[in-house]
Amino acid sequence: MRWLHAKGVSLMETVRPTSAGERAERARMSGGMPTLEFEREIPYDAYVRTDVLHSLQRPLSDAPGEMSFLVITQVMELYFKLIAFELSAAQESLRAGQVRDAAGALRRTALHLEGLNGSWRGLRWMTPADFNKFRDQLGEASGLQSGMYRLVEFRLGLKNEALLRPFRRGPKWEALHRAFAEPSVWDDAVALLARRGHDVPGEVLGRDFRAEYEPQESVERAWVEVYAAGPAGDDLRALGDALAEVSERFGDWRYQHVAAVRRSMGAKPGSGGSNGLAWLERSMARVVFPELWSARTHM
């Protein structure tokens, strides 16, 4: 379906796809100068929806730091969506046995996590005095209530049923509940190892995917075997390396989140009812893809 925007004109009609030949001819006819006249909406604005994006920043105070906080938070939400999209693509490829495609999606995920982590740099200047100028206006709003971030956690295997509760009456409930009940990226990677001949017991493969994942010696041994297999296991080693990169970059995200909270509010209670810094520090202890790291002791 063509997406309609202002005045009932479709996005495809405004952007108007072109071929390489058309682009070359246009550059020849213009002498290399860019097109500056358009019959309808500027194609860039139509494609990116800049009018929508730039209308979403509605600060609740006059504090200069709130615009930084709001825009960077919105950028992070977009990164969460992109990361969740790539993790879903990785899972589809893993389930289809397309290991290299899965590794590619995971490598992209790691790069998006780098971009996400870079967002924190825009808030490094914020002291408690700066944050306190608008913090009260946030009410009970908290990053802990981000449904898209929770979707990322579920796909990475960090499951906690209590954290589903805020979304029961909202539009994200179905997607979150499904991701909570389904295998995670790690579960799919472990199932792939079993299909490739590694000895993973049935009780691991058929576990309750709603439960928090517990490290398994059999999975650890399987990864040791993958890295010892030689050229025959190149695709699985590439998968392991891509998973490790995602795990590291996600760990960087959690560390930088803790650092930002420590810098801007210390150990004060969080807006969403948690004890703030202590809650985040506890969450850092939950390791993503644990056997991929413990296996290194035995390699």
Q: What is the pLDDT of residues 115-150, one digit of tens each?
A: 999 999 999 898 889 998 998 888 888 778 899 999
Burial degree of 192 (CB within 10 A; 0-12, 13-18, 19+): buried
Which amino acid is residue 130, in one-letter code?
D
Q: How far apart are CA 213 and CA 290, in angstroms?
A: 9
Q: How far apart are CA 290 and CA 251, in angstroms?
A: 12
User: Which pLDDT belongs to residue 271?
Assistant: 61
User: Which pLDDT belongs to residue 16?
Assistant: 74
Q: Could you give the maximum distance between any two Cα atoms of the chain, in Å?
A: 67
Tokens 């699985």 belong to 236
Q: What's the rounded mean pLDDT across residues 5-24?
A: 70
- For the stretch 252-295, pLDDT in tens is 999 888 888 888 877 666 565 555 677 677 777 788 999 999 99
Domain borders along the chain are 6-53, 66-298
- For the stretch 275-284, pLDDT in tens is 567 767 777 7
User: Which pLDDT belongs to residue 223?
Assistant: 97
User: Which pLDDT belongs to residue 1?
Assistant: 40
- For the stretch 29-87, pLDDT in tens is 888 888 888 877 888 888 889 999 999 999 999 998 999 999 999 999 999 999 999 99
User: Which pLDDT belongs to residue 270?
Assistant: 58
Residues 182/84, Cβ–Cβ less than 8 Å: no
Fold of 66-298: Methane Monooxygenase Hydroxylase; Chain G, domain 1 (1.20.58)
Mean pLDDT of the chain: 89
Q: How far apart are CA 261 and CA 284, in angstroms?
A: 14
The answer on whether 257 is annotated among ligand-binding residues is: yes
User: Which pLDDT belongs to residue 182?
Assistant: 97
| Local structure of residue 207 (DSSP, 8 states) | S
Q: What's the rounded mean pLDDT across residues 164-174?
A: 90
The answer on whether 5 is annotated among ligand-binding residues is: no
Residues 245/107, Cβ–Cβ less than 8 Å: yes
Confidence class for position 105, pLDDT limits 50, 70, 90:
very high
* H/E segment holding residue 132: helix 128-132
State yes or no: pLDDT of 10 exceeds 80: no
